[in-house]
Structure 1
């Protein structure tokens, strides 16, 4: 009995039968008392006795004046009635009470049987009514539940037909404002979200394939041309171009892996991050950035991810700025981080689209100038993981654009205690396309030997080696970094 309609019908029928049966038993008890009282009244006989001689008094007959030493006596039949109406030909038991002469057994048995027959008739009528009411309730409940569940069954059948190839189908929603209608609306909203998610994934895979194919095709063409004329090729130029394509592939792959991890990973335990220190450290690496920041703006989050958020915003601002980039940080219930540039700006219709993956506006279509189109998508995803927002608005006092990130402040969850006896370098390291990303603040031993005249930026997500032409002094390196020797 798996059908919900059958279960509800049986339950309603049983409950109705039990309640009606209980009420009927109480009613039949009252009827038995009434029938018994009526039988007793009908069987009562009165006698007038003088000494040992008694004469029955007939109702309606005139009685003379009572003589001395005359008394009135009476007798009556008390039937013992049963509520069970299917007794067959069994005689009804009875008792004769009173101080008068005994009543004839034939008369007393007739009174008792007549009373039992009357009670049996009442009981049988009640059972018929009970059966009719129970049947009516069962039919009504079954029809009502079937009518209510019919849209649900249509929804189930429609959902069963939906697969990854026809996500545009939707379940029928009843016109009434009922729970079933709200269920159908919720199912359609869920299907809409699934459809958008699948379409975004497909578009993301297609865009990623396209973006990866271009540098791979260029790299292969350069190498094939050089190999076809090995004695005529300018090999330093070929290797330099191949290295640029490889670096672009590495950066793009790292961003793709980061986006996949941000989308898939559950929120981690968060630390208390001094956003002011993160902003100052990131701005110190930029040449044309002006900083206006409050001190000690604390937010719960991941330092590396917040640094990546600001870094992506600054990369975008420097790519499009004319002469200046301004960074503002304000504390409060929510930390507000603004990155403003005086570039060409973003049309209002495109200010939401710039956060799509691989999105490029017309002014930034070229890959060299416009990047891969993942920086702002990563920045917004990081802001969302920190329960914040990232929006593009008009720049105040500039002709460019202002990106505003809002990160709510709060008390973070405590981190687990670090095991004191671990060996240096035992922490988890991530290897993203050759870029080493440590999960702690020190370097392991032994460490790989890098190429000379290069500084490795150990930041979240990894960046390719940046050639500076010469090794900078130690005092110019950002805090927490060590120079490879």
Structure 2
């Protein structure tokens, strides 16, 4: 009963039946009136009446010249016909109209019965035709809906077989250019996105496990060796190496938490950020960086995230630069931020791959040469969250590489200070407990990297300072 085919067929049948019933009723009423009029015309008789007698008039029979004053009259039979096709013709009522003499009763009943019988046959014929038309419409609609919805049922059956273990299967798309074909194409595009997302998540989990396992294994090996020979161990060196591994784990987990937050949350709370000030503040901490920037380039977003974007690009540039790193900021309808270094550059075939998570080129595989391969992935994700882009291109005037980030400069509507303050209360508060950064409230705040001693606390915590224990 819940089938769409049944519902469409039933609806079409009911609508057709109602329309046909209305048309049939009008036709039957017109047929009844026509038969009544024809019966009255055929039964009409004309008379020439005197005071004594009425003589019927016939066109072919001569009438003698009357010898006394006469008048002319007529008589006709009007049957009262019923539209019910099973009415008994013999019992059909009738009415005698006119000023002439009444006809013989048997003759009048016979005429009325003939009229009713004629109407009964016409009614049954019309009902048969209307029922046939209704049935034909129902069958046609049912066959059409079955044919039209067959590809949908095939898609449903195929989609029901797809699960997390066989995401490569796709639903068949009809060759016709219609809504169902577009539905199938959209379903396949959605399955493609889901497949890519699942594969990215699997690779991400595998790579994250590998990256976390390496420093953990090194830390455990160092501690086990030291504990197996406690009198021979150089404990300050052991503690220093363990601390370096712990810091590496902390940086990696912070980056992973930031990526998870960037993927999950929407950038719904935005401020008007002076990108020129953010860039100047970040560049001021770098020794070999040259800045060429326009003043007061305003963009909507979050200053901490934009600072993290530039910081990751500068970390990558300083890691590979030979002698110089140049940062350029240009305003306009779109803010353009460029980070250029004179390092060995990136092959054109790898310029898109470097933005994948845990991607490190061959020359950056060692621990000293690079991090976990999350910096550029985080930078691009931040640019995307700010409705911008991040690309790697040739460096003009350099033999290295140029990273170009573009961010729209549309400024969001100003919100009341009280509303902003209410939204930001507790959102940036952190506590340092047992050497780890943990949130000081119920929800998970935006992760931040461990600050260096000279790092500006306002950029990380906003208007709040870290709570000491």
CA distance in 1, matches of 2:419, 2:393: 46
- How far off its partner does 1:22 sit? 0.7
Match of 2:436 in 1: 434
Q: TM-score, normalised by structure 1?
A: 0.88
Q: Contact 2:266–2:385 (CA<8 Å) still a contact in 1?
A: no
The answer to whether structure 1 residue 463 and structure 2 residue 449 are counterparts is yes
Match of 1:149 in 2: 149
Match of 1:451 in 2: none
CA distance in 2, matches of 1:346, 1:421: 44
Match of 1:104 in 2: 104
Correspondence list, 1:269-418, <5 A: 269-414=269-414, 417-418=417-418
Structure 1: which 5+ residue stretches go unaligned? 440-459, 468-475
Q: Contact 2:92–2:116 (CA<8 Å) still a contact in 1?
A: yes
CA distance in 1, matches of 2:302, 2:466: 24
Match of 1:455 in 2: none
Match of 2:173 in 1: 173
CA distance in 2, matches of 1:420, 1:82: 81
Q: How many residues align?
A: 456
Q: Contact 2:431–2:466 (CA<8 Å) still a contact in 1?
A: no
CA distance in 1, matches of 2:155, 2:360: 41
CA distance in 2, matches of 1:235, 1:18: 96
**Secondary structure of the corresponding residue to residue 368 of structure 1:** coil
Deviations 1:225-277 (A, max 9, x none): 12222222222222111111111111001000000011111323111110000
Q: Contact 1:269–1:414 (CA<8 Å) still a contact in 2?
A: no
Correspondence list, 1:112-131, <5 A: 112-131=112-131
Q: Contact 1:269–1:415 (CA<8 Å) still a contact in 2?
A: no
Q: Contact 1:173–1:185 (CA<8 Å) still a contact in 2?
A: yes
Q: Contact 1:270–1:415 (CA<8 Å) still a contact in 2?
A: no
Relative to 1, partners in 2 of residues 1:66 and 1:298: Cα closer, same or farther, differing over 3 Å?
Answer: farther
Match of 2:20 in 1: 20
Relative to 1, partners in 2 of residues 1:431 and 1:415: Cα closer, same or farther, differing over 3 Å?
Answer: farther
- How far off its partner does 1:161 sit? 1.4
Q: Contact 2:89–2:116 (CA<8 Å) still a contact in 1?
A: no
**Secondary structure of the corresponding residue to residue 340 of structure 2:** strand
- How far off its partner does 1:325 sit? 0.8
Greater shift, 83-92 or 354-363, is seen at 83-92
Match of 1:457 in 2: none
Q: TM-score, normalised by structure 2?
A: 0.91
Correspondence list, 1:239-258, <5 A: 239-258=239-258
Q: Contact 1:428–1:438 (CA<8 Å) still a contact in 2?
A: no
- How far off its partner does 1:89 sit? 5.7
Q: Contact 1:175–1:181 (CA<8 Å) still a contact in 2?
A: yes
Structure 2: which 5+ residue stretches go unaligned? 460-464
Q: Contact 1:352–1:392 (CA<8 Å) still a contact in 2?
A: yes
Match of 1:159 in 2: 159
- How far off its partner does 1:466 sit? 4.6
Q: Contact 2:173–2:185 (CA<8 Å) still a contact in 1?
A: yes
Deviations 1:63-117 (A, max 9, x none): 4567663433210011111212122466112111111111112111111111111
Relative to 1, partners in 2 of residues 1:338 and 1:80: Cα closer, same or farther, differing over 3 Å?
Answer: same
CA distance in 2, matches of 1:46, 1:320: 124
**Secondary structure of the corresponding residue to residue 91 of structure 2:** coil
Q: Contact 1:437–1:462 (CA<8 Å) still a contact in 2?
A: no
CA distance in 2, matches of 1:153, 1:430: 54
**Secondary structure of the corresponding residue to residue 367 of structure 1:** coil
- How far off its partner does 1:437 sit? 8.1
Correspondence list, 1:182-201, <5 A: 182-201=182-201
Q: Contact 2:395–2:402 (CA<8 Å) still a contact in 1?
A: yes
- How far off its partner does 1:372 sit? 0.7
Q: Contact 2:298–2:411 (CA<8 Å) still a contact in 1?
A: no
CA distance in 1, matches of 2:186, 2:413: 34
Match of 2:462 in 1: none
The answer to whether structure 1 residue 213 and structure 2 residue 213 are counterparts is yes
CA distance in 1, matches of 2:65, 2:280: 130
CA distance in 2, matches of 1:303, 1:357: 23
Deviations 1:387-414 (A, max 9, x none): 1111111111111111111111223254
- How far off its partner does 1:284 sit? 0.2
CA distance in 2, matches of 1:90, 1:105: 12
